[in-house]
Every structure is written in C-alpha cells, then in structure tokens.
Amino acid sequence: MRVLIADDEPLARARLDSLLARRADVEVVGSVADGEAALEACALLLPDVILLDIEMPGLGGTAVARRLAEVPMRPQVVFCTAYEQHALSAFDLGATDYLLKPVRAERLDEALDRAATRLQPPVAAHSAWLRARSGADEVRVRLDDVLYLLADEKYVAVHHGGGMWLIDDSLRQLETAHGERLVRLHRNCLVPRARLLGLRTLSDGRVLARLSGTEVTPEVSRRNLPAVRHLLRTDAG
C-alpha cells in the first residue's frame, strides 16, 4: 500500500513516517508540507492512501480532498488533525477515516486496514460466513445472522439470533475482511451495517446504537460517532 504524507508540521510528518515504518505492507512514497504539493504528488506518485492534515497554509486539507474527489484514480483520504470539529465535513467528503493528533499507532492501523479493504475488489460470497466455536464444536454463522460482535481481552463473542458463540478472529481481522458490511461502534464492538437503525443520546451524553433484531444497545464512542452518523445519513439517502 503506497502512502503519501501531507502535513505542514515537520514533527507531525516525522511521527507518521515512524509509525508507518512498522508495517511491512506500507511504502511511504512521499512527504509534503502543503496542499498544492499534495495534489502534485498525488498526480505524479499515484498513492493508494494520503494522510492529510486539514489546517495547512494555502490550500487546506478539505480543499485538497474536494479536488481529489474529481480524480478518477483518487487515493483513500485519511485526515489527521488536532481539531474534532471537522469530522462531519470530512466524512461528507468521503474520507476513509479521521485521526486526531497525536495520532496513535492503533488508530493509524485501523485507518490503514480500512483503506486496504476499500482498495480490494469485492469480497466473494463465501466470505459472508464466520467460523466460530460452540463448546468443543466448530460451527459457522452467516454474517447476515450476526447481531453484534463484542471483544474481550481473550476472545470475540458473536451474538446472533440463536445465542452467542466465540470466534478466533480479532475485530480488526473481521473489519478488514468485511469492512463494507461491518461498522465499528467502539474499540470493542462491531455491528453489521444492515442492523444499524439509529442512535439514542442519554442524559449523561453517552450515545447508544439501536439495532434491528435485538434490544441490546451498544455504546458508540465519541471517536467513532461522526462516522456512524454519516453512515446513517448516507444509507437513509
């Protein structure tokens, strides 16, 4: 996966470059300091992913994303910024993810895995089954029958209409394999996109997801809330 870094802060570029160096599947093809240079680099280097700062002198990150949206072979855009208030507009521009500075390795990995999923051809129909364990038996469950997936320290529980089974794959592996069909609510929870009905905000500010087929309402983290809201608006349209 070819990655371009675009940030006007040298230290921010150096940090991203260091984090990307951990991954054998990533090649940093360029590092630029402003929006115009980012557009030129995209045209010349054809990156798969651009890590794009929003607040840059001259042409800002959102303007770059709008310009890239007009390009046939546009890269996946992952915004990296210190400002939360741009999240909704970022996803409206079709961003793959939205990372807050200082960018954590775990969140960068999630964004890159999500971008890799979008870059892959459509997943074959046979991959719509998950392998699980029910006691000593190995079973499989259709992804369409899954209500939600919860991760504990040692395992991932697949909750479905018939109860709960355990699965050996991590949430990250599941998201990579089925990224277009699963939605991350928080770091320990994925739900099928088709199950997501809406959101409910509690008096203490917490936001819960309403799912079809179950009364369980998993909490949505503040970090993932803009993406979930955008998804609800997009699917409703």
Task: Provide the domain count of the chain.
Answer: 2
Q: Is residue 59 domain-shared with residue 168, that is, in the same domain? A: no
Domain boundary among 119, 151, 169: 119
What is the tens place of the pLDDT at every residue in 76-121? 999 998 887 766 676 777 788 999 999 999 999 999 998 988 887 5
Q: Is residue 115 domain-shared with residue 170, that is, in the same domain? A: no
The reply to whether 221 falls in a domain is yes
Structural domain of residue 202, as residue ranges?
A: 129-235
**Mean of the pLDDT values across residues 163-170?**
89
Q: Three-state SS across 136-199?
A: CEEEEEEHHHEEEEEECCCCEEEEECCEEEEECCCHHHHHHHCCCCEEEEECCEEEEHHHEEEE
Angle of CA points 65, 66, 71, to nearest 5° = 85
What is the tens place of the pLDDT at every residue in 5-28? 999 999 999 999 999 999 999 999
Q: What percent of the chain has pLDDT over 90?
A: 59
Q: Is residue 41 domain-shared with residue 105, that is, in the same domain? A: yes
H/E segment holding residue 226: helix 225-236
**Mean of the pLDDT values across residues 152-177?**
87
What is the tens place of the pLDDT at every residue in 47-70? 999 999 999 989 999 999 999 988
The reply to whether 212 falls in a domain is yes
- At residue 147 the predicted structure's pLDDT band, cuts being 50, 70 and 90, is very high
Supply the mean pLDDT for the chain.
88
